[in-house]
């Protein structure tokens, strides 16, 4: 935090004073406690998987090799943002507007396909690179020089739910660990007073596959994303309707009970870990409300994000989520996943522009653009982009045709754009190419596995080595696939790496 922390509340202070029984509990356990807990939770000694100290599940852990980025901020645009209206400029599509696509699919996800339709926004060259980007997201477009675009991504599903699973977990099925869970499992966190992994749902609702996007799958529950937004605080931060004194008394009594019990059961690390968890909980009770309290943000910051926009409450709410994301990153939270767009709603609440694409994208763009651009600028001006990887992603792209009888585009998993900027990313590159109409990736084709492998790589993690044994399979984020996309790295492998590794 850049600001000095405020003093703890009476509850917190009293609870923090109880640290002594934690430390007394921890001494004398030594390596036995740790040893007895290794090998639990399926951690095989032979693999380079991290060793988790259950008393400190979020303790920072070393990466496999020196990392370029310490933290990750993912801006996840739910509903499948059209690559053709945003980042992937296709002049041929403008030329062939209104004509049929010979040999194109007659039926796509939702039904019969119509004619080719030109991009619904004007494109113009941006920045030093002169890359063509549309007018749909004018604020983000100004950042083009800093961005590495991957235009040639592919997904394994053209259905939102499975495809969001695939983007978030590397598997189309439910129940696999999310990217953020893998990262917090591997690296822990720099901040012990906050969850290692925070998911911030859109003010309009949660995305299609809900919590599976931040679920721990079969990883230990400690590594699940904690949903938190400027609007909805973490549940159970305080007990309902009890007086402060009674609350403190219960804590004190519990502390004494647990200490006596531990004295009677020396050498049981799990007991000490639980005591430690209550201490960490007490610290979260102080730090989480502080993160969510935006009243201390100066006016110029609110303005930068658009959080002061009285004319658009949803944009302002998303902007507040963006500010909270910055504060979390600033506090050393390892992985922040910021959602833009909610669930299936005929494109009304997310980017699923099937029927009225232009009208709906005008709306969604206004919500996303200034707050997200403000967030990236703010991270940069605070020097946080040195250590923070920012990822903008969506589950798949859209077809170059309009749907028959509609003014919108159907699902297209065969070629779409996501991008990265910040720590370790080569600025101002566009990697991969779709065909002249933007329908299929044709050059440097990258399944999303590669995108996720690259994120792990920037964090100093070998996606093939980061594994977890589950039901007979040494599971990875990237299944049995994945190649790091060297072309978008500022320091491709082999080049000298100067950034220091995270602590551990």
Partner 1 sequence: MPKTAAIALRLLALGIAPGLAAAQDVDFVRDVRPILQRRCESCHGAEKQKSGLRLDVKSEAFKGGDGDGPAIVPGDPASPILARVESEDESDRMPPSGGPLPAAEVATLRAWIERGATWPDGVDLARLEDRRDHWSFKPVRPPAVAIGDDAWSRGPIDRMILDRLTKEGLKPSPEADRTTWLRRVSFDLIGLPPTPEEVAAFVADAHPDAYERVVDRLLASPRYGERWAQHWLDVVRYADTHGFEVNTERPNAWPYRDYVVAAFNADTPYDRFVREQVVGDAMGKDAATGFLVTASVLLPGQIGADDVSKRLARQDAIDEIVVNVGQTFLGLSIGCARCHDHKFDPITARDYYAMQAFVAGVEYEDRPMQTPEALERRRSLAGLKAKAAELDRALARYEPPARPGRVRPKEPSPSINEDSFDPTEARFVRFTILDANLHPTLGLIEPCIDELEIYAEGPDARNLALAAAGAKVTASGSRTSGIHRLEHINDGRYGNSWSWMSDEPGRGTVTVELGGLARVNKVVWGRDRQGVFDDRLATAYTIEAGPSLDAMTTVVDAAPSRPAVDARGNSDRFAPVATRRVRFVVEATNNLEPCIDELEVFDASGVNVALATAGATARSSGDTTVFERHELRFINDGRYGNARSWMSSQVGAGWVEIDLGVERVVERVAWGRDRNGEYQDRLATAYRVEVQASDGSWATVADASDRRPSAAGARKPAGPTFSTAGLDDESARAVRAIQAERKALDGRIAAASREDLAFAGIFRKPDDIRLLNRGDPEQPKDPVAPAVPVALGSLALDARAGEQDRRRALAEWIASPDNPLTARVMVNRIWQGHFGTGLVETASDFGRMGTKPSHPELLDWLAAEFVRSGWAIKPMHRRIVLSATYRQSSRSDAEAAARDADARLLWRYPPRRLDAETIRDSMLAVAGRLDPKMGGPGYDLFDKRGGLSGFTPVESFKGDGLRRMIYAHKVRRERDAVFGAFDCPDAGQSTARRRESTTPIQALNLFNSRFTIDQAAALADVAAREAGEDVDARVRRAYRRVLTRDPTDVEAADAREVVARFGLATLARALLNCNEFLFTP
Site for partner 1 in 257-316 (CB under 8 A): 257-258, 260-262, 265-268, 270-271, 273-278, 280-281, 283-285
Query: How is residue 134 annotated by DSSP?
Result: E
5 binds partner 1 (CB under 8 A): no
| Smallest separation (angstroms) from partner 1 to the CB of 222 | 4
In sequence order, which residues have a C-beta less than 8 Å from that of residue 30 and are 6 or more positions away? Answer: none
Among 316, 337, 354, CA closest to 178: 337
Report if residue 57 touches partner 1, rule: CB under 8 A.
yes
Judged by CB under 8 A, does residue 495 bind partner 1? no
27 near partner 1, rule: CB under 8 A: no
**Interacting residues with partner 1 between 206 and 235 (CB under 8 A):** 206-212, 215, 217-218, 220-222, 226, 234-235
Residue 245 near partner 1 by CB under 8 A: yes
176 makes contact with partner 1 (CB under 8 A):
yes
DSSP three-state, residue 76:
strand
CB of residue 344 to partner 1, shortest distance in Å: 6
- Please tell me the distance from the alpha carbon of residue 45 to that of residue 290, in angstroms, as a whole number: 39
Work out which of 138, 386, 462, 499 binds partner 1, going by CB under 8 A.
Answer: 462
d(CA 434, CA 67): 31
Q: Which of residues 100-119 bind partner 1 (CB under 8 A)?
A: 105, 107-111
Q: Which of residues 82-101 bind partner 1 (CB under 8 A)?
A: none
CB of 402 to partner 1, least distance (A): 16
Site string for partner 1, 326-345 (x = CB under 8 A): ----------------xxx-
- 405 near partner 1 (CB under 8 A): no
Given the complex with partner 1, which of 1 and 246 has the nearer CB atom?
A: 246
Q: Does 173 bind partner 1 (CB under 8 A)?
A: yes
Interface with partner 1 (CB under 8 A), residue from 6, 91, 128, 242:
242
Integer CA distances (angstroms), 177 to 8, 62, 87, in order? 34, 20, 30
Of the pair 102, 494, the CB lying nearest partner 1 is at 494
Query: Where would I find the beta strands (DSSP E) of 106-196?
Result: 107-108, 111-116, 123-126, 131-134, 148-154
Half-sphere exposure of 222 (CA within 13 A, CB side): 25
Integer Cα distance of 316 and 293 in angstroms:
15
> Phi/psi at 433 (nearest 5 deg)?
-140, 140
> What's the gap between Cα 50 and its chain centre?
21
CB of 153 to partner 1, least distance (A): 16
164, 378, 387, 450: residue in contact with partner 1 (rule CB under 8 A): 164
Contacts with 50 (C-beta within 8 Å, 6 or more apart), sequence order: 43, 61, 185, 186, 187, 188
Choose the binding region for partner 1 from 252-260, 315-323, 326-334, 367-375 (rule: CB under 8 A): 252-260
CB of 241 to partner 1, least distance (A): 7
Cβ atoms within 10 A of the Cβ of 158, count?
20
| C-alpha count within 13 angstroms, C-beta hemisphere, residue 453 | 20
Asked if residue 400 binds partner 1 (CB under 8 A), the reply is: no
User: Total number of residues binding partner 1 (CB under 8 A)?
Assistant: 102
Of residues 212 and 421, the one with the C-beta less far from partner 1:
212
User: With CB under 8 A as the contact rule, which of the stretches 131-139, 154-162, 296-304, 381-389 interacts with partner 1?
Assistant: 154-162
Beta-carbon neighbour count of residue 281 at 10 Å? 12
- Between CA 94 and CA 87 the distance in angstroms is 15
Name the residue nearer to partner 1 (CB basis): 34 or 94: 34
Q: Does 249 bind partner 1 (CB under 8 A)?
A: yes
Closest CA to 182 of 390, 385, 37, 334: 334
- Decide if residue 47 touches partner 1 (CB under 8 A): no
């Amino acid at each position: 935090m850049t600001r000095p922390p405020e003093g703890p509340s009476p509850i917190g202070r009293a609870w923090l004073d109880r640290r002594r029984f934690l430390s007394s509990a921890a001494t004398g356990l030594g390596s036995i406690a740790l040893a007895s807990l290794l090998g639990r939770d399926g951690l095989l000694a032979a693999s380079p998987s991290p060793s988790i100290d259950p008393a400190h599940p979020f303790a920072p852990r070393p990466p496999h090799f020196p990392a370029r980025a310490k933290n990750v901020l993912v801006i996840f645009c739910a509903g499948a943002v059209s690559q053709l209206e945003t980042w992937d400029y296709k002049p041929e599509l403008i030329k062939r507007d209104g004509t049929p696509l010979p040999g194109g699919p007659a039926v796509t996800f939702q039904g019969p396909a119509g004619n080719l339709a030109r991009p619904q926004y004007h494109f113009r060259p941006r920045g030093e690179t002169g890359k063509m980007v549309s007018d749909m997201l004018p604020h983000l477009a100004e950042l083009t020089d800093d961005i590495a675009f991957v235009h040639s991504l592919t997904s394994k599903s053209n259905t939102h739910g499975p495809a969001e699973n695939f983007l978030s977990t590397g598997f189309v099925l439910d129940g696999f660990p999310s990217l953020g869970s893998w990262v917090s499992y591997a690296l822990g966190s720099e901040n012990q007073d906050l969850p290692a992994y925070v998911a911030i749902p859109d003010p309009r609702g949660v995305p299609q596959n809900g919590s599976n996007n931040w679920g721990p799958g079969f990883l230990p529950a400690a590594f699940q994303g904690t949903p938190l937004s400027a609007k909805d605080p973490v549940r159970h931060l305080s007990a309902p309707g009890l007086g402060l004194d009674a609350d403190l008394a219960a804590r004190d009594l519990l502390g004494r009970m647990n200490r006596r019990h531990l004295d009677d059961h020396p050498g049981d690390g799990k007991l000490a870990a639980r005591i430690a968890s209550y201490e960490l909980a007490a610290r979260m009770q102080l730090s989480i409300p502080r993160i969510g309290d935006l009243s201390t943000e100066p006016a110029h910051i609110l303005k930068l994000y658009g959080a002061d926009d009285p004319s658009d409450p949803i944009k302002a709410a998303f902007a507040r989520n963006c500010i909270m994301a910055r504060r979390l990153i600033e506090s050393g939270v390892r992985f922040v996943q910021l959602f833009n767009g909610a669930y299936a709603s005929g494109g009304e609440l997310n980017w699923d522009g099937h029927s009225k694409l232009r009208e709906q994208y005008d709306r969604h763009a206004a919500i996303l653009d200034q707050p997200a651009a403000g967030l990236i600028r703010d991270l940069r001006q605070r020097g946080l982009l040195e250590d923070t990887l920012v990822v903008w992603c969506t589950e798949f792209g859209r077809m170059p045709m309009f749907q028959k009888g509609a003014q919108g585009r159907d699902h297209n998993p065969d070629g779409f754009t996501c991008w990265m900027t910040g720590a370790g990313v080569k600025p101002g590159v566009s990697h991969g190419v779709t065909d002249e109409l933007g329908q299929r990736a044709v050059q440097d084709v990258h399944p999303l596995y590669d995108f996720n492998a690259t994120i792990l790589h920037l964090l100093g993690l070998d996606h093939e080595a980061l594994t977890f044994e589950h039901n007979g399979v040494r599971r990875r984020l990237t299944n049995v696939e994945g190649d790091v996309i060297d072309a978008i790295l500022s320091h491709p492998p082999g080049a000298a790496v100067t950034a220091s590794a995270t602590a551990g």
